Amino acid sequence: MNSTARLNAIPRTLNPRMYLFLVVFFSFQLLFPLRYLFYSGNPCWTRECHFLSWRMMLHTRYSQLMFVATDEQTEDSWVVPVEKQMTPTQFLFFQNDPQLIRQYAQFLADRYEEERGRGLKVRVLAKSTMNDNQPQWMIYPDVNLGEESASTHTSEWIVPYGDHTEYPLPRDLQRLTRPVDDPRPAVVPPRL
- The residue ranges of every structural domain in the chain are 1-192
Predicted local confidence at residue 57, as pLDDT: 63
Chain centroid to CA 161: how far? 14
Predicted local confidence at residue 24, as pLDDT: 93
Predicted local confidence at residue 128, as pLDDT: 87
Phi and psi dihedrals of 120, rounded to 5?
A: -130, 125
Predicted local confidence at residue 183, as pLDDT: 46
Which residue, 159, 52, 186, 182, is CA-closest to 98? 159
- Reading the chain (192 residues) residue by residue, the pLDDT tens digits are 566 666 566 566 778 888 889 899 998 888 777 777 777 777 666 676 666 666 666 677 888 888 888 888 888 888 888 888 888 888 888 888 888 899 999 999 999 888 888 888 999 988 888 887 888 888 898 899 988 887 766 778 888 888 777 777 777 776 665 444 444 443 333 332
Distances (CA, A) of 176 to 38, 77, 118, 140, 171: 39, 8, 21, 17, 9
Predicted local confidence at residue 25, as pLDDT: 93
